[in-house]
Amino acid sequence: FNQHSSRLRIATQKSGRLSQESQALFTSCGLKINLREQRLIAHVENMDIDILRVRDDDIPGLVMDGVCDLGIVGENVLEEESLQRQLDNEPCDYDILSRLSFGGCRLSIAVQQEADYQGPTSLAGKTIATTYPRLLNRYLKQQGVQARIVNLKGSVEVAPRAGLADAICDLVSTGATLEANGLREVEVIYRSKAVLIQRKNVSDAAQLKIINTLMPRISAVMQANESKYIMLHAPKAKLNEIIALLPGAENPTLLPLAGNDEQMAVHVVSSETLFWETMEQLKALGASSILVLPIEKMME
């Protein structure tokens, strides 16, 4: 493909934990993607954008080397690659355009269930297996602890049982994998989410125009994803108490109910969802007909 075309090239994960949500984000932003088979490049039909589908490990480098204009990747992979490139004196410039609302996880140190652990100093002289040697090395340095790092590309969680390491440093979201492998999470060393990054020095006017169209749409989708539309009927006497329970509801809409002087309808856009506990509290205050609706798009 043409290096000098002004079509915008976005690198995304081909298949894995970020691919579905990256895809969904593009679709929500109005991109019509022709996703035939397992193609490396998918052309967007209604905008001058090409989506490159690659291993997530390759995404930071593609953007930092200027081969792709944008990329969606986990901060953990991005930061690891940056540290490695700084060490190797390779280019590692990029801008973060947006922190996305998916791909959340943490990079944690875990030890065997029965191991004695009193804090980071317990790791001194131990062997730790990880896919993120640079991030782990930075953490150990900060803690002033010397340990041996074994770099494994996969199956990190079985390393202690296999006798390859005393501890591991791996990505965790629920902790179920750790538990299934007889491991105990003892330190969180990095918290990550997916981010949208851009190469330095994008100067092509057509490309900038596409980015400027895309960005407000992405913010709108992210904001909508994190928000809910809440509707309920509230007794007038308890209005203030009920509104105080609604998360992030600055300006609720209050509407009269036909033929009912005791109650009002309350509508709010909430910055978070309602938990069951809050719904039960609302009900206890006399609220009824409580609805929590997803929001598809939002522009302020």
Q: Which does 103 bind (CB under 5 to 8 A by kind): ligand ATP, Mg ion, none?
A: ligand ATP
- Nearest approach in angstroms of CB 55 to Mg ion is 5
How would you list the strands of the sheet with 127-130, edge to edge? 148-151, 127-130, 167-172, 105-112, 183-192
Q: Which of 48, 57, 204, 241 binds Mg ion (CB under 5 A)?
A: 57
Q: Identify which of residues 57 and 241 has a Cβ nearer to Mg ion in the complex.
A: 57
- Nearest approach in angstroms of CB 179 to ligand ATP is 13
Does 191 bind ligand ATP (CB under 6 A)? Our answer is no
Q: Which of 47, 64, 70, 105 binds ligand ATP (CB under 6 A)?
A: 105
- Nearest approach in angstroms of CB 57 to Mg ion is 4
Q: Of 76, 77, 84, 30, nearest to 54 (Cα)? A: 77
Q: What are the start-end ranges of the H helices in 29-58? A: none
Q: Which two tokens stand for residue 159?
A: 């390393």
* CA angle at 279 for the pair 277 and 280, rounded to the nearest 5°: 65
Answer for the pair 184, 178: CB distance below 8 angstroms, yes or no.
yes
Give the footprint of Mg ion on residues 98-157 (CB under 5 A): none
Does 76 bind ligand ATP (CB under 6 A)? Our answer is yes
State how beta strands 127-130 and 253-257 pair: unpaired
Of the ranges 40-48, 70-78, 209-217, 222-230, which one interacts with ligand ATP (CB under 6 A)?
Answer: 70-78
Q: Of 62, 67, 61, nearest to 88 (Cα)? A: 61
Q: Which does 171 bind (CB under 5 to 8 A by kind): Mg ion, ligand ATP, none?
A: ligand ATP
Q: Is 253 helix (H, G, I), strand (E, B) or coil?
A: strand
- In angstroms and rounded to an integer, the radius of gyration of the C-alpha atoms of the chain is 24
Does 56 bind Mg ion (CB under 5 A)? Our answer is yes
Q: Of 200, 201, 169, nearest to 187 (Cα)? A: 169
Give the footprint of ligand ATP on residues 124-183 (CB under 6 A): 171, 173
Q: Identify which of residues 22 and 263 has a Cβ nearer to ligand ATP in the complex.
A: 22
Q: Of 5, 1, 54, nearest to 204 (Cα)? A: 5
Q: Identify which of residues 17 and 238 has a Cβ nearer to ligand ATP in the complex.
A: 17
Q: Which does 200 bind (CB under 5 to 8 A by kind): Mg ion, ligand ATP, none?
A: none
Q: Which two tokens stand for residue 58?
A: 């390759």
- Write each residue from 165 to 204 as x if it is in contact with Mg ion (CB under 5 A), else as -, in one continuous string: ----------------------------------------
HEC per residue, 122-157: HHCCCEEEECCHHHHHHHHHHHCCCCEEEECCCCHH
Does 24 bind ligand ATP (CB under 6 A)? Our answer is no
Q: Which does 192 bind (CB under 5 to 8 A by kind): ligand ATP, Mg ion, none?
A: ligand ATP
Q: Is 279 helix (H, G, I), strand (E, B) or coil?
A: helix
Of the ranges 52-60, 156-164, 182-190, 220-228, which one interacts with ligand ATP (CB under 6 A)?
Answer: 52-60
Q: Of 225, 227, 231, nearest to 290 (Cα)? A: 231
- Nearest approach in angstroms of CB 82 to ligand ATP is 14
Q: Which does 17 bind (CB under 5 to 8 A by kind): Mg ion, ligand ATP, none?
A: ligand ATP
Binding residues for Mg ion, per CB under 5 A? 56-57
